[in-house]
Amino acid sequence: MLPESLLCLISATLAFAQARQQLTLDSVASFNTLRLNPPSFSIPQEERLAVSIALCSVTNSQPRFFVSNISNSDAQSDPGPAGGTSVFEIKLVDGLGSWAGGFPNGGLLSVQSSDADGFSFDVGLSTNTEPLHQNITLPFLGDTTSNQAIILSAPFAKFDIPVPSYPNYTLPAANMSQPPPPSSTPNMTLIVTETSRGITGGPRTGCFLSSQTTAGAIDEQTIWARDISGYRSQWLLSGLTPSTNYTAFVVQDSTKPPLSAHSCTLSHSVLG
Ligand SMILES: *[C@@H]1O[C@H](CO)[C@@H](O)[C@H](O)[C@H]1NC(C)=O
Ligand SMILES: *[C@@H]1O[C@H](CO)[C@@H](O)[C@H](O)[C@H]1NC(C)=O
Ligand SMILES: *[C@@H]1O[C@H](CO)[C@@H](O)[C@H](O)[C@H]1NC(C)=O
Ligand SMILES: *[C@@H]1O[C@H](CO)[C@@H](O)[C@H](O)[C@H]1NC(C)=O
Ligand SMILES: *[C@@H]1O[C@H](CO)[C@@H](O)[C@H](O)[C@H]1NC(C)=O
Ligand SMILES: *[C@@H]1O[C@H](CO)[C@@H](O)[C@H](O)[C@H]1NC(C)=O
């Protein structure tokens, strides 16, 4: 027979464990399925929300995520594959997925997985139309030598170029300098791996890729207006192995909501 105070403590812990954790607006939260009880979350009331999921570790169990936007009441059961009114699946492609809709009475998010070893994932709730996790455009391979490369991100800041017009068709100087730099630069991180290492088969998410070791050495990271499409981040990489295929990813992590966070993308780059 347990002492009474210990019994109280156990029942209090059970009651606490059964309450669903509430997700916070305009932020990304990290979880591991081994430490989820129950495997579902409560979503606060909001006119419109974009819910996004990013897998942060490799799992072979093909987890499924379901959202319901009928209510966040404790009496409501977890949304699941059986469907029902207002139950939607957030399908993951390369570890990333999102769903947007109205949550006038709040909602629920649940995860279903058969992975006994557990896996980690991030959930983002955005009150903006843009989800907090999203794909960003492919990086661009600038130039290579046998063991060096210049990699550029997609353009992130436009600039104005005066267009000549009648009657003044003065051409710009042939030696144009760089246009005025943008006032702020998104936080972009380059991750380069040997293509044969196969991390390209894992999730293409910021949280997963940021945890991987990157090949070569970044000698310099600057911003560069390569063409009229705008300023890009530019990385000068060295220490690569000749005749090896590398894959480059760019992860963009903006700390300022409601801009995109933890986004990433992939480019297959063949280096000579
Ligand atoms: C990310 O891009 C892939 C194609 O590369 C697409 O199938 C997928 O739906 C996109 N994911 C999101 C969340 O937009
Ligand atoms: C849930 O979202 C769907 C799709 O956006 C929408 O049609 C439906 O009205 C929403 N349910 C509620 C209760 O708002
Ligand atoms: C013609 O255009 C050039 C380049 O934009 C500018 O420097 C120059 O002042 C202009 N001249 C006149 C007369 O507007
Ligand atoms: C471009 O060339 C002109 C003429 O040689 C020179 O006066 C000017 O300083 C140069 N501008 C830049 C940005 O190098
Ligand atoms: C930039 O992003 C990286 C990786 O996502 C992160 O480790 C770093 O703290 C960020 N830096 C700033 C200044 O936010
Ligand atoms: C690099 O990639 C190209 C194109 O996918 C392939 O033809 C070539 O065999 C690869 N080289 C190595 C060393 O893996």
Instruction: State whether 88 and 24 are in the same domain.
Output: yes
Instruction: State whether 52 and 115 are in the same domain.
Output: yes
| CA atoms in the 13 A half-sphere facing the CB of 188 | 27
Does residue 248 or residue 16 have the better pLDDT?
A: 248
Ligand 4 centroid to 249 CA: how many Å?
37
Instruction: State whether 120 and 144 are in the same domain.
Output: no
Establish if 166 belongs to a structural domain. Answer: no
Ligand 2 centroid to 120 CA: how many Å?
28
**Ligand 6 pocket, CB under 6 A:** 243, 245, 270
Establish if 8 belongs to a structural domain. Answer: no
Average pLDDT over residues 126-137: 86
pLDDT of residue 97: 93
The number of the ligand 4 atom at minimal distance from the alpha carbon of 175 is 1
Instruction: State whether 148 and 220 are in the same domain.
Output: yes
Atom 2 in ligand 4: residue holding the nearest Cα: 175
Instruction: State whether 150 and 110 are in the same domain.
Output: no
Ligand 2 centroid to 101 CA: how many Å?
6
pLDDT of residue 143: 85
Q: Which two tokens stand for residue 246?
A: 């590398």
Kindly identify the ligand whose nearest atom is closest to the C-alpha of 96: 1
DSSP string, 67-82: EE-S---TTSPPP-TT
Whether the CB-CB separation of 210 and 159 falls below 8 Å is answered with no
Model confidence band, residue 7 (pLDDT cutoffs 50, 70, 90): very low
What is the rounded distance in angstroms from the CA atom of residue 43 to the CA atom of residue 93? Answer: 23
Q: What pLDDT, in 10s, does the model give residues 209-253?
A: 888 888 999 999 999 999 889 999 999 999 998 888 888 888 887
Kindly identify the ligand whose nearest atom is closest to the C-alpha of 196: 6
CA dihedral 69, 54, 120, 245 (to 10 degrees): 160
The CATH number for 25's domain is 2.60.120.380
Kindly identify the ligand whose nearest atom is closest to the C-alpha of 103: 2
CB-ligand 4 contact for 173 (6 Å cutoff): yes
Instruction: State whether 156 and 255 are in the same domain.
Output: yes
Atom 5 in ligand 4: residue holding the nearest Cα: 175
Whether the CB-CB separation of 51 and 123 falls below 8 Å is answered with yes
Provide the number of structural domains found in the chain. 2
Instruction: State whether 87 and 194 are in the same domain.
Output: no
Establish if 214 belongs to a structural domain. Answer: yes
Instruction: State whether 29 and 91 are in the same domain.
Output: yes
Instruction: State whether 256 and 154 are in the same domain.
Output: yes
Domain hosting residue 107, numbered range: 20-126
The CATH number for 262's domain is 2.60.40
Establish if 246 belongs to a structural domain. Answer: yes
pLDDT of residue 4: 53
Establish if 2 belongs to a structural domain. Answer: no
Ligand 2 centroid to 24 CA: how many Å?
20
Ligand 5 centroid to 243 CA: how many Å?
31
3-state secondary structure 106-165: EEEEEEECCCCCCCEEEEEEECCCCCCCCECCCCEEEEECCCCEEEECCCCECCCCCCCE
Establish if 192 belongs to a structural domain. Answer: yes
| Residue whose CB lies within 8 A of the most ligand 4 atoms, among 171, 175, 176, 177, for a mutation test | 175
CB-ligand 3 contact for 168 (6 Å cutoff): yes
CB-ligand 5 contact for 253 (6 Å cutoff): yes
What is the rounded distance in angstroms from the CA atom of residue 111 to the CA atom of residue 122? Answer: 12
Instruction: State whether 109 and 219 are in the same domain.
Output: no
Model confidence band, residue 130 (pLDDT cutoffs 50, 70, 90): confident
Average pLDDT over residues 36-59: 94
Q: 13-27, 97-111, 188-202: which range is least confident on average?
A: 13-27
Average pLDDT over residues 49-59: 93
Model confidence band, residue 11 (pLDDT cutoffs 50, 70, 90): very low
CB-ligand 2 contact for 69 (6 Å cutoff): yes
Establish if 235 belongs to a structural domain. Answer: yes
The number of the ligand 4 atom at minimal distance from the alpha carbon of 177 is 13
Atom 3 in ligand 2: residue holding the nearest Cα: 101
Instruction: State whether 106 and 203 are in the same domain.
Output: no
Look at residue 6 and tell me whether its pLDDT is greater than 50: no
Establish if 131 belongs to a structural domain. Answer: no
- Bridge-based pairing of strands 107-112 and 217-227 is unpaired
Q: What pLDDT, in 10s, does the model give residues 138-159?
A: 788 888 888 899 999 989 999 8
